[in-house]
Amino acid sequence: MEKFVIDGGVPLSGTMTPAGNKNGALAILAAALLTEDEVVVSNVPRIRDVETMLSILTAIGVGVAWRGPNEVALCAAAVHEVEVPEEQAERIRASFLLAGPLLARFHQAIMSPPGGDVIGRRRLDPHLDAFRAMGAVVQCGRDIVLGAPRGLRPTDVFMDEPSVMATENALMAAALIPGTTVLGNAACEPHVQDLARMLVKMGADIQGIGSNLITVNGAERLHGCAHRVAPDHIEIGSFMALAGVTGGELRITDTVPGDLRMIRLVFERLGLCTELDGDDVIVPGGQKLVAQTDVGGYKCKIQDGPWPAFPADLTSIAVALATQAEGSILVHEWMFENRLIFTDKLILMGADIVMCDPHRAIVTGPRRLRGERVESPDIRAGMAMLLAALCADGRSEIGNIRQIDRGYERIDERLRELGARIERVATEPVHA
């Protein structure tokens, strides 16, 4: 086990390049199952969740070979198993992304319940409803058994919620079904778009990329391709906020500005202004964060939602940023009822946060935070605590950092390059 030891109060300044999108990479790696040909994926983040996904793929017979620090080649010609191992499936929620490719190509998939962050109820029903619409038989017990002995059929799928992973699963399955499948009320996040672009390279014809109505003209056989994972807009937003709370000047290179419009808009409501220089985002240093009020003097409100709304994965980061903004902000996390539970750790560090209910919190700032010992319950809460620790007075210790490592590549090394005083330290074993 390891922990981070952080001495706060140092502005983070310099230049950083974002890693590949974590959620995009996981779906893109799963898509390699759709073909016998080799698939080469570059700009893959070297994080725990990616390593877990690759170990699952290896276990079912996919050949996996790293060809560079962030480039991996996959070949699913010798897949011999359609059952995802329980021990590995429970480590990441994205293990369920193998259901669509396995079902489409092998007409069967046996899925153990997926794991992942405990941030609230995360339904599998949209996945299963899409598979049923495509002609699959679904049996739900300890495992979820999916079967389509005669193959899946093209159809019209309308999702009861715009689930990102369910859309990705349906997209991958539809790409290998000859004929036209229409996905309505589909998710359209940047990583869903990136997966769709890869599937087009593999031979599918996909219309409506970036919208919530996607038409897939699938192919009887998909072929290999080379694909570069798009930059992670969640990581970019996290680093923008890191610069904001510490007062540093930061340039983030090689972004996709269109993916950042809502993030920049919401952060501006908290007083954090950013600039574009081509594909680079610049966070000017020394900004005084003052939360905007709505016309009439009403409290500033931040609310997440499906794309293109503010991303749920940045809600925790927005809370940490709000602790340093002058004014009172209502944060409404309507998607996951446990996402805001971590705020008790920020309160321990001196934040002024009132939990109204599991979905809403009022943050009043600015508050001078102090170093404390805290534990990271999930990826994004862990990053929020890193923000707090880096701007706090004194020393902080963050435990359970494997959660942060699941989503952020070499985060301590990259922060040190920007001037942070952070060390990764082995924790002492607890003896019975």
Burial category of 256 from C-beta neighbours within 10 Å (exposed 0-12, middle 13-18, buried 19 and up)? middle
> Residue 373: helix, strand or coil by DSSP?
strand
Single out the residue of 53, 56, 62 nearest to residue 35, CA to CA: 62
Q: Which pLDDT tens digit goes with each residue over 136-184?
A: 999 988 889 999 999 999 999 999 999 999 999 999 999 999 999 999 9
DSSP, residue by residue, 389-424 = HHHSBSEEEEE-THHHHTTSTTHHHHHHHTT-EEEE
User: Which residues share a beta bridge with 39?
Assistant: 74
> Looking at residue 90, what is its pLDDT?
79
When pLDDT is cut at 50, 70 and 90, the band that residue 432 belongs to is: very low
Q: Which pLDDT tens digit goes with each residue over 340-385?
A: 999 999 999 999 999 999 899 999 999 999 999 999 988 999 999 9
**Other C-beta atoms within 10 Å of 112: how many?**
18
b/e per residue 197-224 (b: at least 16 CB within 10 A) = bbbbebbbebeebeebebbbbbbeebeb
The structure's pTM equals 0.93
> Looking at residue 330, what is its pLDDT?
96
Q: Which pLDDT tens digit goes with each residue over 261-287?
A: 999 999 999 999 999 999 999 999 999
429 vs 2: CA distance, rounded Å: 10
Answer yes or no: same fold for 2-19+231-426 and 22-228: yes
Single out the residue of 278, 283, 217 nearest to residue 248, CA to CA: 283
Domain ranges of the chain: 2-19+231-426, 22-228
Can you identify the CATH homologous superfamily of domain 22-228? Enolpyruvate transferase domain (3.65.10.10)
**Other C-beta atoms within 10 Å of 307: how many?**
21
Topology (CATH) of 2-19+231-426: UDP-n-acetylglucosamine1-carboxyvinyl-transferase; Chain (3.65.10)
**Other C-beta atoms within 10 Å of 287: how many?**
17
State the amino acid at position 234 in one-letter form. Answer: I
> Residue 122: helix, strand or coil by DSSP?
coil
b/e per residue 115-135 (b: at least 16 CB within 10 A) = bbbebbeeebebbbbbbebbb
> Looking at residue 136, what is its pLDDT?
96
When pLDDT is cut at 50, 70 and 90, the band that residue 429 belongs to is: low
Q: Which pLDDT tens digit goes with each residue over 72-117?
A: 999 999 999 999 888 878 778 899 999 999 999 999 999 988 764 4
pLDDT at 430 over 90: no
Active-site positions?
117
